[in-house]
Structure 1
Amino acid sequence: MVPMTDDVLRYTAFATTPAGGNPAGVVLDASALDDDAMLKIAAGLGYSESAFVTPGPDPRDARTRNLRFFSPKAEVSFCGHATVATAVALAERHGTGDYLFHTQAGEVPVTVDRGDGVLRATLTSVAPHVEDVTGDDLTEALAALDWPAADLDPALPPRIAYAGARHLVLAAATRGRLADLAYDFERLAALMHRLELTTVQLVWRESDFVFHVRDPFPVGGVVEDPATGAAAAAFGAYLRTLGLVPRTAELTLHQGTDLGRPGELTVTLREGDARVRVSGAAVPIP
């Protein structure tokens, strides 16, 4: 069974207008759907990910749900923007406050509040970690991106970061380097499949706590993700692990500008808590 069109909600996350941020499909009751049906819906929408909700351990509890994510090509372990979109969709129906999602990556608490007439969700990641990337894999990634090694920022060394999904973090030395993105889709996809990466998190540091980011997503069948909450969480863990920001910090990530879909993600780090918080608004797409 595939839901009727009206059963598939459309939201954009990390923006306050439908023209910005990252669109996601949301199915609030996917109980009757099998994996093939969910993948078909995600592929039909063409968004980088769509979210599918089923009842949690207590079906009567509207605030604890199971949540799965599908790109147009495959299931994804965790997706931040679709989590934010789902939380806001539920809050519109059940009120603001705390929600808990059971995902393939683990439990993800989300708090939704309202400010200036817009609902905003803050997700708390699963426990993150950061690992080295081999020289050969880095060389292959740069070749697929057509980025000379000299264009990297030596102050932000390449790493693979995880906070629910794996992302290769590469830092551009200039904003112009980040803006000029024309990569070999199949070559980068092959490397990402081998390393089990969800996106490549390309970043440029504007100031101590402000970054511009882009996320190629060929493994999901999408050239670029407009706003990537999972990568933002992983990037926050990366910065803290490498001592590049204070252990308590609030970071602003600008994403989607180069695609004409500007969005803003807030990443919060807390001393004594390894998990990373990612916040953003979400609004329905008419």
Structure 2
Amino acid sequence: MTSRAQDRPEVLRYTAFSADPAGGNPAGVVLDAAGLDDAAQLAIAAELGYSETAFLTAPPAGLGGEPGRAFTVRYFSPRAEVPFCGHATVAAAIAFAERHGPGDLLFATPAGTVPVTVAEVDGALRATLTSVEPAVLDVKDDDLDEALGALGWQRSELDPAFPPRIAYAGARHLVLAAATRSRLADLAYDFDRLTAFMHSLDLTTLQLVWRESETVFHVRDPFPVGGVVEDPVTGAAAAAFGAYARELGLVAEDAVLTLHQGTDLGRPGELAVALRAGDARVRVSGTGTRIPEDG
């Protein structure tokens, strides 16, 4: 997998949560990152400019999984390493499956062990990741006021049925629900102010949501801490949102939620979020495809 011309591992480009290279969320994928130190991985991520790039290396001892299908995975945004990234996980799994066949994979990430299954569905590869153990935390009033101030939102524009919370399923996300689709669509925020706020609470994105129906949601994710104004389609935040919605009794314990994201950016994508009664972990599924080199 090494490019002799550049004397570095091959860097693949895939989009996740869409079968269209122009949709979904682009991610970099390095299937063999052996020999790349932190600086080299960050440089590759910054060069690509995608919200995240996944780097795969040999698994830690005792991880388990099928031989040759278990890996250590690290994720870098253009600015820093992040503990977990859902769309880059899906992209990496589909890139691997295209070369070695569908089946089960096991990823040792900084956030914990993440099983991934890739299956062929209606002629296309579809990946399902299982999150780490999730958590849902309260938000202080002062922190909520600062988040809304950075967004330019008012409390009156929030959906009172969806209390603000910090949700975690591998990374921390502040969940805020807009009362209207037009409020969600009109996103223009103070980049530096939101960045500082998010660093203060160790947030990866803000998960902004609007409920269309019982199980259908539209979402957006500002990501200034990663050097990106907005993440097009966000698997880690989708997992966190699933845990949040179940914890607060906003959806059934057994449910499959459909999240639409990226439409407002012109990169539509779709995530399926599966919740199972008696199982705290959340499953996030989506398709993906390679982005042509001239794309």
Residue of structure 2 aligned with 1:165, choices 147, 171, 177: 171
Correspondence for 1:262: 268
Residue of structure 1 aligned with 2:160, choices 154, 164, 189: 154
Q: How does 1:74-223 map to 2 (within 5 A)?
A: 74-223=80-229
Distance verdict in 2 for CA 1:3–1:171, change over 3 Å: farther
Q: What code does the residue aligned with 1:42 have?
A: A
The Cα of 1:108 is off from its aligned counterpart by 0.1
| CA deviation vs aligned residue, 1:201-254 (integer Å, no higher than 9, x gap) | 000000000000000000000000000000000000000000000100000000
Q: Partners of 2:218 and 2:8 in 1: how far apart?
A: 35
The runs of 5 or more residues in structure 2 that have no matched partner are: none
CA contact (8 A) 2:198 2:225 kept: yes
The runs of 5 or more residues in structure 1 that have no matched partner are: none
Q: Partners of 1:272 and 1:245 in 2: how far apart?
A: 14
Tell me, what secondary structure is at the counterpart of 1:207?
coil
**Alignment RMSD (CA, Å):** 1.6
Residue of structure 2 aligned with 1:23, choices 21, 26, 37: 26
Q: Partners of 1:275 and 1:260 in 2: how far apart?
A: 31
Q: Partners of 1:229 and 1:28 in 2: how far apart?
A: 20
Correspondence for 1:33: 36
Residue of structure 2 aligned with 1:47, choices 39, 50, 53: 50
Correspondence for 2:282: 276
Q: Partners of 1:6 and 1:242 in 2: how far apart?
A: 44
Q: What code does the residue aligned with 2:186 have?
A: D
Distance verdict in 2 for CA 1:240–1:181, change over 3 Å: same
CA contact (8 A) 1:62 1:94 kept: no
| CA deviation vs aligned residue, 1:29-60 (integer Å, no higher than 9, x gap) | 11110000000000000000000000114799
The Cα of 1:273 is off from its aligned counterpart by 0.2
Correspondence for 1:249: 255
Residue of structure 2 aligned with 1:68, choices 66, 69, 74: 74
| CA deviation vs aligned residue, 1:131-152 (integer Å, no higher than 9, x gap) | 0000000000000000011000
Q: Partners of 2:7 and 2:31 in 1: how far apart?
A: 12
Distance verdict in 2 for CA 1:3–1:117, change over 3 Å: farther
The Cα of 1:61 is off from its aligned counterpart by 2.4
Q: Partners of 2:93 and 2:173 in 1: how far apart?
A: 23
Q: Partners of 1:281 and 1:160 in 2: how far apart?
A: 27
Q: TM-score, normalised by structure 1?
A: 0.97
Greater than 2 Å deviation, 4+ residue runs: 2-6, 57-61
Q: Partners of 1:35 and 1:168 in 2: how far apart?
A: 28
Matched residue count: 286
Q: Partners of 1:213 and 1:62 in 2: how far apart?
A: 36
Q: Partners of 1:3 and 1:136 in 2: how far apart?
A: 50
* 183-192 vs 115-124, greater mean Cα deviation: 115-124
Q: Partners of 1:31 and 1:215 in 2: how far apart?
A: 31
CA contact (8 A) 1:125 1:233 kept: yes
Correspondence for 1:12: 15
Q: TM-score, normalised by structure 2?
A: 0.94
